[in-house]
Amino acid sequence: MCGIAGLFLKNRALEPELGAMTAIMLNVLTGRGPDSAGFAVYGDSIPDTVKLTLRADRKFDFGACAGALGVTVTIRDDHAVLSVPITRATEIRAALGRDFPEVTAVAVGTRMELFKGVGLPADVASRFGLATMSGSHAIGHTRMATESAVTIAGAHPFSTGPDQCLVHNGSLSNHNDMRRRLIREDMTFQTQNDSEVAAGFLSWRLREGARLDEALRDALDALDGFYTFVVGTETGFGVLRDPVACKPAVMAETEDYVAFGSEYRALADLPGIGNAHLFEPEPGRVYFWERPVESIH
């Protein structure tokens, strides 16, 4: 099981609705994944600033933490997004690790913010205020745990590189070996989860200079198991199903957006869905959309 919802907007007029549309899609997929949920939203960037998404116990005082670091913060439930001047990013990440060991770094990026939590997708979305978020693309996941415990750490999306995230429906069989190989390439992992290895693999390929579509093609050879992946980068949105393709996938494309759902049900409320081009992504084929950088803020 598990459910995936992804939305990549072509029409910028829809950007204020991105979070609301994603929240509806995730809620529909509750039946496929009631344990935990998460989502990444690619919103506006601020020049010379990076966003650090952090997570800690609800009692943790993120306001005081941000004050001590001299940066601004947006707190959303047990997550917080620090806006950090790019020149201070390394220093602040080091200070977080040193002075605030109870804080987990969830994601970093110029545009991406990433939130995940245990509970029903509707509750998780509402705790973080997903419906009010805007942006160019979003990727979400509803999890039915099969390979590891129901924890926030096991919830999707996984982010292993700046502005990069991945959600996965399926399970990988060579993730331990691949994790060891990637660690030798200086990739780091926070969990023993198989899906994080897939994210790490793509981040490694991107780090080595591959485009997202090339990295996804490499994944077809490198990753063994069954999977439907939806991945995001700062400007791109990709989909890949393994060649056997046991995991369901439906896509809809209009002039305004590209949407991914584990089932059509998740797409049923999208605007203009009645006239959308509906298709099932083919097994073993890389699908990839990218917005020109100048159209991003």
Partner 1 sequence: MNSIRKTDAAEAVVFDLAAEKLRQLNAALQALGPGSNTTAWRILNPRGEHAIAVGVTAPVSVRIDGPVGYYCGGMNDGAAITINGNAGPGVAENMMSGSVHVRGDASQAAGATAHGGLLVIDGNAAARCGISMKGVDIVVKGGVGHMSGFMAQSGNLVICGDAGEALGDSLYEAKIFLRGTVASLGADCEEKPMTPADRALLETLLLRADCDVDPAGFRLYGSARKLYHFHVDNAGAY
Point out the residues that are catalytic: 2
Tell me whether strands 112-118 and 72-76 are parallel, antiparallel or unpaired: unpaired
Q: Does 248 contact partner 1 by CB under 8 A?
A: yes
| Binding segment (CB under 8 A) for partner 1, from list 6-14, 88-96, 178-186, 272-280 | 272-280
Q: Does 278 contact partner 1 by CB under 8 A?
A: yes
Quick one: which of 68, 183, 190, 279 contacts partner 1 (CB under 8 A)?
279
| Binding segment (CB under 8 A) for partner 1, from list 66-74, 87-95, 195-203, 238-246 | 238-246
Q: Does 250 contact partner 1 by CB under 8 A?
A: yes
**Are 258 and 287 a contacting pair, CB within 8 Å?**
no
Q: Does 243 contact partner 1 by CB under 8 A?
A: yes
Nearest approach, Cβ of residue 281 and partner 1 (Å): 10
Q: List the interface residues with partner 1, window 53-112 (CB under 8 A).
A: none
Q: Does 245 contact partner 1 by CB under 8 A?
A: yes
Looking at beta carbons only, is 133 or 270 nearer to partner 1?
A: 270
Looking at beta carbons only, is 60 or 264 nearer to partner 1?
A: 264
**Are 239 and 267 a contacting pair, CB within 8 Å?**
no
Tell me whether strands 225-232 and 104-109 are parallel, antiparallel or unpaired: unpaired
Q: Does 26 contact partner 1 by CB under 8 A?
A: no
| Binding segment (CB under 8 A) for partner 1, from list 76-84, 187-195, 211-219, 275-283 | 275-283
What is the binding site for partner 1 (CB under 8 A)?
A: 243-245, 248, 250, 263-268, 278-280, 282-283
